[in-house]
Every structure is written in structure tokens, then in C-alpha cells.
């Protein structure tokens, strides 16, 4: 099985979901995407995660991000579980949960790690760009719930650095100063970064976030 790496094309697939059948690439369209897997329906940590994602709908929409969850259970099970999620997390799940009973998608995305569990998917996360290329992967064990604030922060960084010649430093958050990438010469900086910059070292040059007014 091929391991998906950054820059690889996200494999396309057709699957049944709680919102009907989707063709993954067509469903993404021109949006960014987050595909994330869960060990199983009716599990406690997953219940909190899906509830959290539903509460972050406005934040994902602001960033033009479509979100899809997956587990190896079927659509009927997913629908029953959604009722529990809505009730216990005080929200409304409004994104598709993919049914992967035959593990087709799990195999495509290497979501089953036999040394952890040979049947259930681990907590995989794939951030996918509008070009359908994989921009980020994170894998959590089943025992550790994901930090969706961190995923929003990562999307902010990915979207910023996709369109501007900057990188984001440690613990960066939206609105903070960025690093000018080494490929930009000092002579190019005034035109590219009119807000100015600070040179800490010749290889470490900081500038205000360029896409903010």
C-alpha cells in the first residue's frame, strides 16, 4: 500500500454518506477540504469531536473549507449516532459522514494501522487544497481527541503561504508577523512587503501578515 505524502493527489472515491452519495473530488469542487476518520460510531471521544466540528461550521465556511468525517460503520448507524451527537453536544451535525464498511476509503488513505488496531481506523486528518493535493497530514491515536483550533490555525497558515512568499513561525496565529521565505532577496522585499520588515538575522526576516489591511 502506498503511503500518501505531502503534495500527492488526494485519491478520489465514490461513497455513501449521511448526505447521499458523493464523488469526493466533485464534492470538494474549488474548496479546501478536511477529511478525518474515526475508529467507530457511538464512541465517546468521536462524539465530542464531531460535535465540535459542527460548532465550528462558520469558521470553516469563512475559510472555504468543506469537512467530511469517516468511519467503517454504515449510513444507518451514522444517522443514529448523529442523533446522539446533536443531543449530547448541543449542536447539529451538518457535514457528511462517510460510510466505509468495505474499508475502500480507509485503504486508499492508509487509515487502518494494524499495530494499533487491525479493524478500526485511527484518527487520521488530511487537509486538501483546491488543486486536490494533500497539504497536511496528522495521525492521532484512538485515545486522543483532536484539537480543531489547531486545524483552523493550520488552514490559516496553509492558505496564507499558498498565495504569499512567507512562512509562519512557531505558535503563529492569524494576524501575527510572518517569516519572509529565503528565496525572496532583500532587493525584492520593499515591493513585495510594503508594510516593512525586520531583519533579525540575514536568514530570519519578519514582516506583518501581508494579506491584512
Burial class (CB in 10 A: 0-12, 13-18, 19+), 175: exposed
3-state helix, strand, coil in the chain (%, to 5): 30, 25, 45
Cell of 181: 521565505
> What is 164-207's CATH number, 3.40.50.300, 3.40.50.2000, 1.25.40.10, 3.30.1020.10?
3.30.1020.10
How far is it, in rounded angstroms, from Cα 27 to Cα 139? 24
Q: Would you tell me how many other CB atoms lie within 10 Å of the CB of residue 200?
A: 10
Q: What pLDDT sits at residue 121?
A: 58
What DSSP character marks residue 144?
S
178 is catalytic: no
Q: What pLDDT sits at residue 13?
A: 95
> 98 near 125, Cβ under 8 Å?
no
Task: Parse the chain into domains and list their residue ranges.
Answer: 14-145, 164-207
3-state secondary structure of 201: strand
The whole-model pTM stands at 0.90
164-207 and 14-145 share a CATH fold: no
Q: What pLDDT sits at residue 115?
A: 53
Candidates 10, 15, 28, 46; catalytic one: 46
Cell of 120: 478500526
Q: What pLDDT sits at residue 122?
A: 59
* Closest among 118, 107, 113 to 140, alpha carbons compared: 113
> What is 14-145's CATH number, 3.40.50.1820, 3.30.800.10, 3.40.30.10, 3.40.630.40?
3.40.30.10
Average pLDDT for runs of 10 along the chain of length 213: 84 96 97 92 93 97 96 93 96 95 87 58 86 94 90 97 96 97 96 95 96 86
How far is it, in rounded angstroms, from Cα 92 to Cα 142? 24
Amino acid at each position: 500500500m502506498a503511503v500518501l505524502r505531502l503534495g500527492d493527489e488526494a485519491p478520489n472515491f465514490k461513497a455513501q454518506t449521511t448526505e447521499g452519495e458523493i464523488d469526493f473530488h466533485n464534492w470538494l469542487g474549488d474548496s479546501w477540504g478536511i477529511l478525518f476518520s474515526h475508529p467507530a460510531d457511538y464512541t465517546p471521544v468521536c462524539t465530542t469531536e464531531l460535535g465540535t466540528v459542527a460548532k465550528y461550521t462558520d469558521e470553516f465556511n469563512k475559510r472555504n473549507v468543506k469537512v467530511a468525517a469517516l468511519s467503517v460503520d454504515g449510513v444507518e448507524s451514522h444517522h443514529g449516532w448523529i442523533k446522539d451527537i446533536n443531543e449530547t453536544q448541543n449542536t447539529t451535525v451538518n457535514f457528511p459522514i462517510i460510510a466505509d464498511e468495505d474499508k475502500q476509503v480507509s485503504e486508499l488513505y492508509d487509515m487502518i494501522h494494524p499495530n494499533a488496531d487491525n479493524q478500526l481506523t485511527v484518527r487520521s486528518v488530511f487537509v486538501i487544497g483546491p488543486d486536490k493535493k494533500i497539504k497536511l497530514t496528522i495521525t492521532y491515536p484512538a485515545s486522543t481527541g483532536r484539537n480543531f483550533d489547531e486545524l483552523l490555525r493550520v488552514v490559516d497558515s496553509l492558505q496564507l503561504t499558498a498565495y504569499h512568499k512567507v512562512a509562519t513561525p512557531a505558535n503563529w496565529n492569524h494576524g501575527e508577523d510572518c517569516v519572509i521565505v529565503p528565496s525572496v532577496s532583500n532587493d525584492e522585499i520593499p515591493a513585495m512587503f510594503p508594510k516593512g520588515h525586520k531583519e533579525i538575522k540575514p536568514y530570519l526576516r519578519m514582516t506583518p501578515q501581508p494579506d491584512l489591511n
